[in-house]
Structure 1
């Protein structure tokens, strides 16, 4: 979907709000990586450190229960860019980015869509950090401590996050006396789920939601559990039938080699692993993640899926057969490196928290 198409959607949301005949009274009473492409005709300066103000909201720990600890509060971070805002008197819109499974720090630069459209719509931009990430962790705990403490971990849910966003949106509009400024919430992937759910659960607070790449139907008994990897498989098959077939044959070949004497050592040597493999499954998990990431972010002009398949199809290898071709695909994608597979990594909050996010997301169904 192009930026011009998305802009027309925003225009529709705002037009609908303006002709509804009802003022937007506020009653009393959450997808990132580098190298995201930007529309050069709309893109603004990437130097944005001075464009945003950082605020902290005194957020309620538990929005839904009435136990004594429910009234505990914590500081939740949000960012505001008001450079292009037309102001409350003009009922200029407010675009709210709902933070997902990572700290909010990089969102203003990576999520270019809001900034690229702010001037056209004279919009206020608000980015809200999801509870338990970045600087929005309850009770002064570290992220690890909050996840380890069972009672505190229970508040790490999508429903609580949505209520957080509602409270901050109300707070911002009250502070700016922007009662009549329509709000559009925006999110991607899990954040897109949050945006769509927010529109359903809090329709009095937002006139629309942009839910980019949001797997809103990806739940048991709605979408098959293998649907994601079916799409990944389709991407590779469309790129190259022989590449697709080689990858398909490689799984049983990895199992076969792993079961041989010194099998995992041989696999470690074939794939130049950064540390010895403990099992064939470890290698298979790495490859599945690599293929999935390449398919999910199959960006032009590089097109990672094609890069991997060109490496596999173009491999001139006889010694290691199918697995030699698979390794050639890894090298084509990763480039020359001292080692591949299981490299040392810094575990991020996303890595630690996503498993719990997936589990607690189900509370909203």
Structure 2
């Protein structure tokens, strides 16, 4: 959905639409100390006749490394990678404890890692998780040779890169001693109605009355949307950039953005300017007026916090981003990620929850139309999209990948946990579920406001990382 945030390097947005907000290491973190490096990578790893090469961007940090030590790799995701992560986050503590080298590899087609001249549909076939995993395996093997790294490797990733981290251990168990998968959705699914189901549950943790007010606000909005004489009122109330009309896709885009204001705050609870308690305090406060007026205030605050003057609800605006094939365009990130949702993952966050807490306007057909509109050269059908999901789950195992030495970490407030592994799959494939935490919180360093459960989770991950490295280092 739109507000959901791109977390560069960790790739934690898993965004579908809207304003991209990059949560990077603090400005105080020195990024300039890490030189930008380039690795010659195959364009198509599966072309047995030979493939042209392209330059993939990466960085490394050997500050903690001692000869014979291990290497830790952070997997880049669906945003531009930030070298600041090479001396930021809890994984740097694990590196210090194990005298490990740190690597960060940017994902193909994102940031400056541009394998093709542009993103014409014919070139998008080279963008997939499968190609990305081959990139990682090839890169790691090469770095071991180039830097004479004889110790074991451990992979890290958050959100989509968290999925890649687990899948890398699945596909290349001999290359890794272990893998940390933080907030990684593993089960491909078109209709991801569970996402907003978790949003509902998360808001309920703040007390009664919040969801009820949001439901009432959305019901009122749907009624007013059906009355053309109310469109100007809604436009003014919710600060749309252009007046609302009866265009069905614009209407759904408008509602989607309003729900995104909510979903993004929940997903990144504690990392953005607003949190779920502030949202629900507003929604329960009758001094702000009727529920629709309270919901409008939440929208206004979200716009202000994102530096936006108005809500660009028109579907044509989003389509312009999706059809921008230039790597230099303003839509960098959207065309690539929507391609991956169409061809691999789905994860469309509909309002198909049985309780209808957030209305019913965001149906699966609306999201599926993105594929046809963005990549019109291809023949998209619901059946084709469903088959793509089946193929992905067949490839990787869905909720039940057969892996060893992998830890799956999720937070109860993070809506993406609904597509993740929440219980141990075996003695060496364990799950850590953290109550009250949001998306990828375990990847940050400890801070004074962290819950005991979150601090303990980081400690457990560190114990596992140390154990994997120690066991792999035994002759």
Check whether TM > 0.5.
yes
Is 1:175 the counterpart of 2:146 in the alignment?
yes
Residue 53 of structure 1: aligned partner: 35
Q: What value does the CA root-mean-square deviation take over the aligned residues?
A: 2.9
Structure 1 contact 114–125 (Cα < 8 Å) conserved: no
Structure 2 contact 86–102 (Cα < 8 Å) conserved: no
Structure 1 contact 157–357 (Cα < 8 Å) conserved: yes
Q: CA deviation at 1:288?
A: 1.4
Is 1:77 the counterpart of 2:48 in the alignment?
no
Structure 1 contact 62–160 (Cα < 8 Å) conserved: yes
Name which one, 1 or 2, has greater alpha-carbon Rg: 1
Residue 166 of structure 2: aligned partner: 196
Residue 131 of structure 2: aligned partner: 160
Q: Structure 1 CA distance, aligned partners of 2:110 and 2:88?
A: 17
Q: Structure 1 CA distance, aligned partners of 2:194 and 2:35?
A: 41
Q: Structure 2 CA distance, aligned partners of 1:340 and 1:261?
A: 21
Q: Structure 2 CA distance, aligned partners of 1:315 and 1:164?
A: 54
Q: Structure 2 CA distance, aligned partners of 1:306 and 1:335?
A: 18
Q: Structure 2 CA distance, aligned partners of 1:191 and 1:245?
A: 35
Is 1:205 the counterpart of 2:187 in the alignment?
no
Residue 330 of structure 1: aligned partner: 299
Q: Structure 2 CA distance, aligned partners of 1:122 and 1:110?
A: 14
Q: Structure 2 CA distance, aligned partners of 1:236 and 1:290?
A: 13
Q: 1:246 and 1:198, CA in 2 relative to 1: closer, same or farther beyond 3 A?
A: same
Structure 2 contact 59–83 (Cα < 8 Å) conserved: no
Structure 1 contact 34–110 (Cα < 8 Å) conserved: no
Q: Structure 2 CA distance, aligned partners of 1:171 and 1:350?
A: 28
Residue 292 of structure 1: aligned partner: 263
Write out per-residue CA displacement over residues 226-255 of structure 1, whole angstroms, 9 at most, x where no aligned residue.
111110111112223212101112222111
Is 1:358 the counterpart of 2:341 in the alignment?
yes
Which residue, 115, 129, 135 being the options, matches 1:138? 115
Structure 1 range deviating more: 122-131 or 241-250:
241-250
Secondary structure of the residue aligned to 2:169 is helix
TM-score (norm 2): 0.60
Q: CA deviation at 1:113?
A: 2.7
Secondary structure of the residue aligned to 1:241 is coil
Q: Structure 2 CA distance, aligned partners of 1:123 and 1:353?
A: 33
Q: CA deviation at 1:100?
A: 0.9
Is 1:120 the counterpart of 2:90 in the alignment?
no
Structure 1 contact 78–129 (Cα < 8 Å) conserved: yes
Secondary structure of the residue aligned to 2:219 is helix
For structure 2, list consecutive stretches of 5 or more residues without a partner in the other structure: 1-10, 14-20, 322-328, 345-388, 396-475
Q: 1:36 and 1:234, CA in 2 relative to 1: closer, same or farther beyond 3 A?
A: farther
Secondary structure of the residue aligned to 2:205 is helix
Residue 101 of structure 1: aligned partner: 78
Is 1:281 the counterpart of 2:252 in the alignment?
yes
Structure 2 contact 29–87 (Cα < 8 Å) conserved: no
TM-score (norm 1): 0.77
Structure 2 contact 282–288 (Cα < 8 Å) conserved: no
Q: Structure 2 CA distance, aligned partners of 1:348 and 1:299?
A: 27
Q: CA deviation at 1:105?
A: 3.0
Q: CA deviation at 1:136?
A: 1.6
Residue 236 of structure 1: aligned partner: 203
Q: CA deviation at 1:164?
A: 0.5
Q: 1:296 and 1:109, CA in 2 relative to 1: closer, same or farther beyond 3 A?
A: farther
Aligned residues: 313
Q: Which has the higher helix share?
A: 1
Structure 1 range deviating more: 241-250 or 103-112:
103-112
Greater RCO (CA < 8 Å, at least 6 residues apart): 2
Q: CA deviation at 1:349?
A: 2.2
Write out per-residue CA displacement over residues 202-249 of structure 1, whole angstroms, 9 at most, x where no aligned residue.
0110010000001113536xxx73111110111112223212101112
Secondary structure of the residue aligned to 2:186 is coil
